[in-house]
Amino acid sequence: MKEFFTNFAVTLVDGGSKINNVNAISSEKVLQNTLNIVYMAAGIAAVIVIIVGAIIFASSAGNSSSVVKGKNMIIYAVAGLVVIIAAFAITNFVIGSFK
């Protein structure tokens, strides 16, 4: 196991050569994968906020403060999703243009 990690580290630094069939990972791919994970986590959080806001809105029973709170949660979460999708598209375009 120690040999695997040593070879993996050498392969990452080596820049593309293969040692024991371990491929090197480019810095662009590492950045892209990291950002995709961040975007996925933010998207999941936004969807959860939309669901919670909808529950608050639906269970407000005419209470105006609950209606406003639920509506604002939904609006801000949808706006956040739009920003997340735009950031995803822009960063993937920019990272793809460096290849």
Could you report the per-residue pLDDT of 4-62, keeping only the tens digit for each?
766 666 665 555 455 556 566 777 788 888 999 999 999 999 999 999 999 999 999 88
The reported pLDDT for the residue numbered 23 is 65
pLDDT (tens digit per residue) in 56-99: 999 998 899 999 999 999 999 999 999 999 999 999 898 888 76
Q: What share of the chain is helix, strand, coil (3-state, %, to 5)?
A: 80, 0, 20
The reported pLDDT for the residue numbered 31 is 84
d(CA 71, CA 14): 53
The reported pLDDT for the residue numbered 90 is 94
The answer to whether 81 and 42 have CB atoms below 8 angstroms apart is: no
In terms of C-beta density within 10 A (0-12 exposed, 13-18 middle, 19 or more buried), how is residue 21 classed?
exposed
Question: Whole-model pTM?
Answer: 0.70
The answer to whether 83 and 63 have CB atoms below 8 angstroms apart is: no
